[in-house]
Structure 1
Amino acid sequence: MTTGLLAGKVVLVVGGSTGIGADAARVFAEEGASVMLAARSKDALAALTDELTGAGRDVAHTAGDVSVGADVAGFVDATLARFGRLDGAFNNAGINGQGRLDDVSEDDFDRIMAVNVKGTWLCLREEIRAMRESGGSIVNTSSIGGFRGNTGLGAYQATKHAVIGLTRTAAHDNGPLGIRVNVVAPGPTETPMLTHWRQNDPAAVERRIAAVPLRKAGTTTEVANAAAWLLSDRASQVTGVVLPVDGGLTA
């Protein structure tokens, strides 16, 4: 494809096997990007790669754990080896964690921090190294939980606050290199995470959606479209921004 919002760009999607990440890969490829998918699930990655290459898109994948530095370096190395450069990255890998702060186990706290915070930092570190000479654009995934509190989600909320802090710092550090770093902050979104929450506490989910001015949960494609714009040259003067994709919930 020679046209589209991301035509001619090479984009790495970390956490690209399911949910927002998978739909981001679909949107980015449809908008003309060559896409490298990275996640832990080899089977899901292979299936999505087959789907997209079967539709004529230029897509490849590599597997690894976002909380392991060598694996994340491998994501970027695989992208450079396959496509020759890295123009953009969407860092979307993350896990949820429920429970009051005083009830969360140390192991659970360490794991969610390792994936959501350390993983984002590792991605930024390796992607920035690859973009240092040529510039580029990076989009991280936080949540509206990254700038508000919520009972029973303390550890998760803390990680999403941290992702915003990493993003803003990276935007300041790397702006002189021509590297833009932004963050999308979804509200309630129809993902496997929301499905799990709905199964456990459907009334709470419906109350949350009823509070959204647009009166609906977002879709993964809507979040992916926002990320695609931030990655594109149309957002060339936008960096360090937190973009809520929440139907107006935080308005």
Structure 2
Amino acid sequence: MSRVQGRPRRVRQARRARRAVGVLTTLAVLGMWEAAGRSGSVMFLVPFSVAARGAWDLVSGPGLRQDVLPSATRTVAGFFVGSSLGVAVGLLLGHFRALDPWVRPVLEFLRAVPLPAVLPVAVLAFGPNSGTRVGLIALGAVWPVLLNTMDGARTVDAGFVDAARAAHVGRWRVVSRVIWPACLPQVFAGLRIALGISLIMMVISEMVASTSGLGFFVLQAQRAYAFQDMYAGVLVLGLLGGLFTLMFTAVEYHVLAWYEGQKGIGRG
């Protein structure tokens, strides 16, 4: 009993130690940024304190509605659209393998096209509007989710599927009740990658023929040599990405609690 009771305590202590190391590392990096900015050893680098002051001005002033919120909305919308499409197509192709020869060449071609190269074509075809940018973000998010979902669906233990079919469970119920839960860990691995790609595509899409957003803000500041604003925009982008990651991790931890338990990782 003492070993069983002591294990959650060791897990909590290990988590606290990792968090403490993370905080100390972050503070050390910010301290080096501050020192390098004040020493002038790096050209055009402003101190962290100056960038942080500019970031606060950005999120507490008109920039919140003009740039920060539009960027966050586009990122979330593109991520959800791309992820939903990736999950649906990935489950379909993973379970119905007869479809693979028909769609594989098209998927491989689309996946091989660099996304930044699609941006000018999309702007010319559909116009420089938010819908086009959301579509580009979705196009970037769809591939890691689709491939991970398809791979997860194909690696589900065949015994589970055969047992469900022996019990006369319908094909779609097999997908929703057997295959989908079993491939969730790989789906979330793809979703985590897709979230990072969504942020990158949001910035890239806002740097072309845009009038709002953090990407537009950073580019305009760079062109005007407003380095405080440029670093402030970059800092806000980093904070936005960190916020999205924390929210995603909380959802992942809740949804995959059963999987962590199977791996022997206590929740304590």
- Say which structure is richer in strand: 1
| Fold agreement, TM-score > 0.5 | no
Q: Which has the higher contact order (CA 8 A, sep 6+)?
A: 2
Superposition TM-score tier, normalisation by shorter sequence: under 0.3
- Say which structure is richer in helix: 2
Instruction: Give TM-score scaled by structure 1 length.
Output: 0.26
* Larger Cα-atom Rg: 2
